[in-house]
Amino acid sequence: MMATTKKSEKFAVFGHPIGHSKSPVIHQQFAKQFGLDIQYDAVDVASGEFENAVNDFARAGGKGLNITVPYKLEAWLLADTRSERAELAGAVNTLKFATDSIGSHDELKIFGDNTDGFGLVTDIVNNCQFDIKNKKVLVLGAGGAVRGVLAPLLDCQPQLLVLANRTVSKAEALVEIFSSKGNIKATGFDGLADQHFDLVINGTAASLKGEVPPLPGTIFTTNALAYDLMYSAKPTAFMVWAKYHGATKQVDGLGMLVEQAAESFYIWCGKRPDTGPVIKLLR
Ligand code: ATR
C-alpha cells in the first residue's frame, strides 16, 4: 500500500502593507488547539493585483483568505455570494473557496463574509463583560471600519447609537443605511455637548496619528467603557484621553482582532477556537 502524506490546508491574509500582521500567529494558535496542520501566510499584494492574486491562490488549492486594508471593498466586489452581514458592511474580510463541477470543468465559487463586527461585539460582551442591550452607545467615525461594525452593534439592541463624524454627511449616509436595524442618529462632534454614553467606540483614523477627535470631556457616564478599534503596544491616544475624562475601562482592538479571526476560522474549519489564551499570548 502506498503511504499517503496529509497535505496541510492553505490560508493567508492579503493586504498592503502586511508586514505587521498578527494573523499568521493567531491562526496557527487556533489550528494547534485542534491538532490541525495548516499553512497561513501574510501576503503583500501590490495595487492592481488583488483579483489575480485571489484567483491564483484559490486555484492552487487555497481554502480561505482574510482580507485587510486596502482590499476589503475589492473582496466584496469579487465574491460570488455574500453573507447578510457582509452585504450591510459593504466590505469583506473573509473569503472561502469552493469548486463546482460544471460539465467537464470545475468552476471556482467565492463566498465573502465580514467578521469584524462580530469580533468587536464578542470582545465587548464576552471579554469585557459589557452588556450592550439598552445602553447608550457613541461611535466615532463614519468610514469603512465603522460601517463594518454597525449592524452587529445594533443587533445587540442598544437604547441609542449616536454616530459622530467630522464630516456629518458621511454619518448621515450611514444612518440612512442602518436606520431599519435600530435607534441610530448622526451628529458632528459639536453636537455631543451635554450627552453621556455608557460605551464609546473610536473608529476614526485619528488614532493612527496619535490624535483624538475634538470631544467634550463630559461624554462618559459612570461605569463607561471606552473602546478603540485600533490596537498598539501602548494605550492609544483615545484610551489615555478616556481614562483622564473618567471612563471606567479603556480597551484597544486586540481582542476584536482575535475574535474576528476566530469567526473566520470557524467559517473555514467549522471549529470554534478558544480565544482567551491567544489574546493573552499576544499581550
Ligand atoms: P477606515 O477604513 O479606517 O474607516 P476611512 O474610511 O478613511 O478609514 O475613514 C476614516 C474615518 O476617520 C472617517 O470617519 C474620518 O472622518 P471624515 O469622514 O470627516 O474624513 C475620520 N478621521 C480621520 N482623521 C480624523 C481626525 N484627525 N479627527 C477626526 N476624525 C478623523
Cβ neighbours around 249 below 10 Å, total: 16
pLDDT given for residue 203 in this prediction: 97
- Strand stretches in 160-265, DSSP E: 160-164, 184-187, 197-202, 220-228, 249-251
* Ligand 1 binding pocket includes 204 (Cβ within 6 Å): yes
pLDDT given for residue 19 in this prediction: 84
CATH number, domain containing residue 127: 3.40.50.720
**Statement to judge: residues 31 and 73 lie in one domain:** yes
> Each residue's pLDDT tens digit in the chain (283 positions)?
555 556 799 999 999 999 889 999 999 999 999 999 999 999 999 999 999 999 999 999 999 999 999 999 999 999 999 999 999 999 999 999 998 777 777 889 999 999 999 999 999 999 999 999 999 999 999 999 999 999 999 999 999 999 999 999 999 999 999 999 999 999 999 999 999 999 999 999 998 899 999 999 999 999 999 999 999 999 999 999 999 999 999 999 999 999 999 999 999 999 999 999 999 999 9
Tell whether 34 is covered by a domain: yes
* Ligand 1 binding pocket includes 211 (Cβ within 6 Å): yes
**Statement to judge: residues 217 and 200 lie in one domain:** yes
Pick the residue whose CA is nearest to atom 6 on ligand 1: 143
**Statement to judge: residues 149 and 211 lie in one domain:** yes
**Statement to judge: residues 99 and 148 lie in one domain:** no
Pick the residue whose CA is nearest to atom 26 on ligand 1: 206
pLDDT given for residue 105 in this prediction: 79
**Statement to judge: residues 101 and 195 lie in one domain:** no
**Statement to judge: residues 130 and 172 lie in one domain:** yes
Instruction: Tell which residue, 151, 240, 149, 247, has the closest CA to residue 200.
Output: 247
CATH number, domain containing residue 61: 3.40.50.10860
At residue 29, what are phi and psi to the nearest 5 degrees?
-65, -45
pLDDT given for residue 137 in this prediction: 98
Q: 145 is in which domain, residue-wise?
A: 117-252
**Statement to judge: residues 153 and 216 lie in one domain:** yes
**Statement to judge: residues 75 and 128 lie in one domain:** no
Q: What is the number of domains present in the chain?
A: 2
**Statement to judge: residues 56 and 136 lie in one domain:** no
**Statement to judge: residues 148 and 248 lie in one domain:** yes
Pick the residue whose CA is nearest to atom 29 on ligand 1: 213
**Statement to judge: residues 126 and 246 lie in one domain:** yes
